[in-house]
Structure 1
Amino acid sequence: MLSNVTLFLARRYLRAKRSFVSVITVISILGVAVGVLMMIVVSSVMKGFEGEFRKVLIGSEPHILLHPQGQKPASTKATADLLAQVHAQPDVLAASSYIRGVMYAEREGMQSGMDVFGLPEDGAKFYMAKIAKHRFEGSLELRHGGVVCADYIAGQLDAHPGDKISVYASSNVTSAVQRFRIASDEQDEKKRHDSYKDIKLHAKEIILQGSVRAETAGAYGYTTLETAQQIFGFGDQVSGVLIELKQPGEVKDVIKRFTDAKILPAGWSASLWTDAGDARLAAMSNERVMMWIVLLIIAVVAAFSVMNTTITVTTQKRREIGVLTALGSQQSQIIGIFVAQAAFVGTLGTLTGLTLSGLVLWLRDDIRLAIAILSGGNTDSAAGMFLSTIPAQIEPWFILATCLGSITLCLLAALPPAWLAARVDPAVALRD
């Protein structure tokens, strides 16, 4: 019976004298709703950005590269022995030998450089299928004497699929520069002239087969293993072993198991896909933590609006509280009235914020488009481009924690004014 009276009074105190719901109650509910809305939307979108960046790295970077230290070439036998051990590991999805080097490309006076992977037939089919969704132009099926590169490199060369481009290994260019410096220091004019004549770059012509979007597939070039061996002068040697994993997120655990099992030969090291983005991923994670702190402050401010409502109601109902106390109501019952009021405001505000956050996340791209139209910004979003849509990753545990935390903060915010109201002397309250 007493609990029914408590709930009845709590509902009554939420209403204004001439309207169904008090204005301050509506403001409190909206304050809580905005806090929950911001917590869920911002966290989901930031988690989405982090997830998309991680997917780009996994989808464009080799998961593991095993290679001799100092980037020295590896012998065919050492690579074959290592590949046999790697293929036997349950974590490995695919593995092949590879050659990696930097080459300069030229076409009709335009130049560019690219980091190139040379892959054998089996490795090329698997790896190019991995980045096939990022195709920009042409074919990604590697053929001897052909190359696939990033779209911006093709743009710098003004080259399209089928065009011939001249390529030079970076080591050849470096050697030519060194010989040029030596020749420049030669005092004898005839010797200097002869030295200049000896400086030659032997270009190799290859065909541009296709290009991939650099934004999502990285800035690498790809060619066959044989073509790379000819360009970089590797003979029958390779750079090492390229590995693709079933669970790329466990790459650090996998390489630790490789080390413990002594699969990695002495004098060899490993490069992981995380190396290309560890700092960026850590920065994004730290940024998300800081944003949580900011959002928590917003939630606390919303809780203060509930406290303000409770203080206002306890001030307005001071005489009624005195009457209840004089009639024998206990302090816990008086406190229960205002805590129940805060529970109603917190629950309704949380549910409202949860509903609005779901609506905002569902319509997030439409909202971005509307803002772009109103602000005169760019409204085009090319399909396939990185972040052409706003990513969002919803975490159920975070939503649950946000909702429970919001209601808890509202209850805690109501306790101090409710406790003070329950301690009012009825004689003083009735006299005021």
Structure 2
Amino acid sequence: MFKPIPVAIGLRYLRAKRRNGFISFISLASIIGIALGVAVLITTLSVMSGFQREIRDRLLQMTAHATISGADEPLHDWPHVVKVAMADPRVAGAAPFVDVQGMISGNRDPQGAMIRGILPAQEKKVSVIADKMKQGNLDSLRPGSFNILLGQELALWLGVGVGDDVAVMTSDTLSTPIGAIPKTKRFHVSGIFAVGHNEVDRNLALADMTDLQRVLRLGDDVTGVRLKMHDMDLAQETAIDLARSLRHVYRVSDWRSENANLYQSLKMEKTVMGILLSLIILMGAFTLVNSQVMLVIDKQADIAILRTLGLSPNGVMGIFMVQGLLIGVIGTLSGVIGGILLTINLERILELIEAVFHVTLLPSDVYYITGLPYDLESSDVVTIACVALAMAFLATLYPAWRAARTQPAEALRYE
């Protein structure tokens, strides 16, 4: 099989047993360094992606994929909005809601919270709150009962449980002879839920929508309609299409815009971590530079002979680029395979460490996420592999260029 001379000689140099064992050791260290950097980077980014997915999924259990609300006033004809939304095949569920910021007083200091009025039958179509009840049930929210469901963390801070009463003070005021005072209503705690996301469990209370409308004197108006999509990535596009089809001015938001700061911080954290861990691959690339420079010095006589036989400087450069790139390819492939295997078996490794050292790395009483989730994204793996190969390619340029500048007379003078 025909091979270009630089490729054939480069492969021969790679397979040959070198006179200087130290050069072989540095080449092996280059492969190990690149492989280790690639494997660690794949595993770390996969775990970070897994945590991002877990946080997103837990948050979306209670956060609507999209929300349609009135532009500057409450939403009046919400049944029509729900009807139009459910007619769209992209929408899986729609439910009206009333939101108001308020203070809840229990047996301890008052706590600020979002009080949300819902219709239990329709709320089940857009959230999993019914499955997250620790005590009581969602159907206890009946019109006229003035029952309320509290997040687990919120109930703990208030020092209340099922069967207790709490006072809810809303941000709306009531005019009296002594001045404006906040609207206050006593509610009966009929249930406690735990979604597994601190922002929700600490800052949310649920009441029947009709009861909250009476407290706020809204009549039949609501804050908006929450939508659940079959494909949450189409949430914003679908909500905008629905708002246009309703032929009114509505405010539209989706889960990305409502939690933009959280997702941007998670994305930034993953990007910074990827850049920092790329330094491991860079260290392997620097080791590759050292090994190739030493190889060029060791092969001075061979380079001189090849030049006298008519091999061009570009051909000499190609020999050492082939060898360096092969080292980079071997290191990258080893790292990719090792990183994938490590990521897949990370849960078992964690369990083994806990069993051997008798420790709990992710205790359930401290962390909401007790396992070690991962999301092995093919795009991340391909990007990491390309970065590693690019670094290996750049690492071969200087040694190959130095080899191409070798003068045959100078190299053979002392041979």
- TM-score w.r.t. the length of structure 2 is 0.82
1:57 aligns to 2:45 (yes or no): no
Cα offset, 1:424, TM superposition:
1.9
Counterpart of 2:137 (choices 111, 133, 139) is 139
8 Å Cα contact 1:151-1:214 kept in structure 2:
no
- Aligned: 1:257 with 2:241: yes
Cα distance in 2 for partners of 1:246, 1:356 equals: 36
Match of 2:100 in 1: 101
Q: 1:171 to 1:429 in 2, by over 3 A?
A: closer
Higher Cα Rg: structure 1 or 2?
A: 1
SS at match of 2:124: helix
Residue of structure 1 equivalent to 2:223: 239
Question: How far apart are 1:152 and its partner, in Å?
Answer: 0.9
Equivalent residues of 2:288, 2:324 under 8 A apart: yes
Q: Deviations over 1:90-129 (max 9, x none)?
A: 322111322222444344455434312222243133245x
Task: Give distance in 2, aligned partners of 1:11 and 1:109.
Answer: 76
Percentage of identical aligned residues: 22
Asked whether 1:47 is paired with 2:49, we answer: yes
Q: State the match for 1:9 in structure 2.
A: 13
Q: Distance in 2 between the 1:217 and 1:138 partners? A: 21
- CA spacing shift, 1:108–1:399, aligned 2, 3 Å: closer
User: SS where residue 356 of structure 1 aligns?
Assistant: helix
Change in Cα spacing, 1:280 to 1:124, as seen in structure 2 (3 Å) is closer
Cα distance, 1:274–1:337 mapped onto 2, change above 3 Å: closer
- The alignment partner of 1:126 has SS state of coil
Letter in 1 for 2:70: P
The separation in 2 between residues aligned to 1:111 and 1:210, in whole angstroms, is 17
Partner of 1:168: 168
SS in 1 for 2:61: helix
Partner of 2:69: 67
Report the Cα distance in structure 2 between the residues aligned to 1:397 and 1:240, rounded to whole angstroms: 37
Shift of 1:24: 0.9
Question: 1:35 maps to what in 2?
Answer: 37
SS at match of 2:94: strand
Question: Residues of 2 paired with 1:237 and 1:346: CA distance?
Answer: 65
Equivalent residue number for residue 194 of structure 2: 212
Q: Is the 8 A contact 1:124 1:142 kept in 2?
A: no
Aligned counterpart in structure 1 of residue 301 of structure 2, from 319, 324, 349:
319
Match for residue 395 of structure 2 among 413, 418, 427: 413
TM-score (norm 1): 0.79
Are the aligned partners of 2:140 and 2:190 in contact in 1 as well (CA < 8 Å)?
no
Instruction: Return 5+ residue gaps in structure 2 as ranges.
Output: none
Moved more, 310-319 or 333-342: 333-342
Deviation at 1:171, TM superposition (A): 4.5
Please list the CA deviations of residues 312-338 of structure 1 after superposition, one character each: whole Å capped at 9, or x if unmatched: 011122123223334444445533432
- Is 1:26 the equivalent of 2:64? no
**Residues 124 and 224 of structure 1 are in contact (CA less than 8 Å); yes or no, is this contact kept in structure 2?**
no
Report the number of matched residues.
Answer: 405
Distance 1:203 1:228, change over 3 A: closer
- How many Å separate the matches in 2 of 1:216 and 1:204? 25
CA distance in 2 between counterparts of 1:422 and 1:102 reads 73
Q: 1:413 to 1:125 in 2, by over 3 A?
A: closer
State whether residues 10 and 337 of structure 1, in contact with CA within 8 Å, keep that contact through their aligned partners in structure 2: no
Q: How far is the alpha carbon of 1:306 from its aligned partner?
A: 1.2
Change (3 A) 1:117 1:327: same
Q: Is the 1:136–1:213 contact (alpha carbons within 8 Å) kept by the matching residues of 2?
A: no
State the Cα distance separating 1:37 from its structure 2 match: 2.4
Partner of residue 288, structure 2: 306
Of residues 350, 374, 382 in structure 2, which corresponds to 1:400? 382
Aligned partners of 1:233, 1:305: CA distance in 2, in Å? 73
In the TM superposition, residue 249 of structure 1 has moved relative to its aligned partner by 2.2
| CA displacement, residues 151-205 of structure 1 (integer Å, 9 cap, x when unaligned) | 11111232333x1313334157x448x866x59xxxxxxxxxxxxxxx8976434
2:209 is matched with which residue?
225
2-structure distance, mates of 1:317, 1:273: 61
Summarize the alignment of residues 146-157 of structure 1 with structure 2, pairs less than 5 Å apart.
Answer: 146-157=147-158
Work out whether residues 108 and 159 of structure 2, in 8 Å CA contact, stay in contact via their aligned partners in 1. Answer: no
Change (3 A) 1:254 1:152: same
Distance in 2 between the 1:158 and 1:221 partners? 14
Alpha-carbon distance in structure 1 between the residues aligned to 2:303 and 2:108: 89
Distance 1:317 1:208, change over 3 A: same
SS at structure 2 position matched to 1:170: strand
Cα 1:106/1:245, change in 2 over 3 Å: same
2-structure distance, mates of 1:211, 1:59: 12
Do the aligned partners of 2:65 and 2:255 also contact (CA within 8 Å) in 1? yes
Shift of the 383–356 alpha-carbon distance from structure 1 to 2, 3 Å rule, reads farther
**Aligned counterpart, 1:335:** 317
Q: Which amino acid aligns with 2:223?
A: S
How many angstroms does 1:388 deviate by? Answer: 2.8
2:115 alignment counterpart: 116
Q: Which amino acid aligns with 1:143?
A: L
- 2:165–2:189 contact (8 Å) kept in structure 1: yes
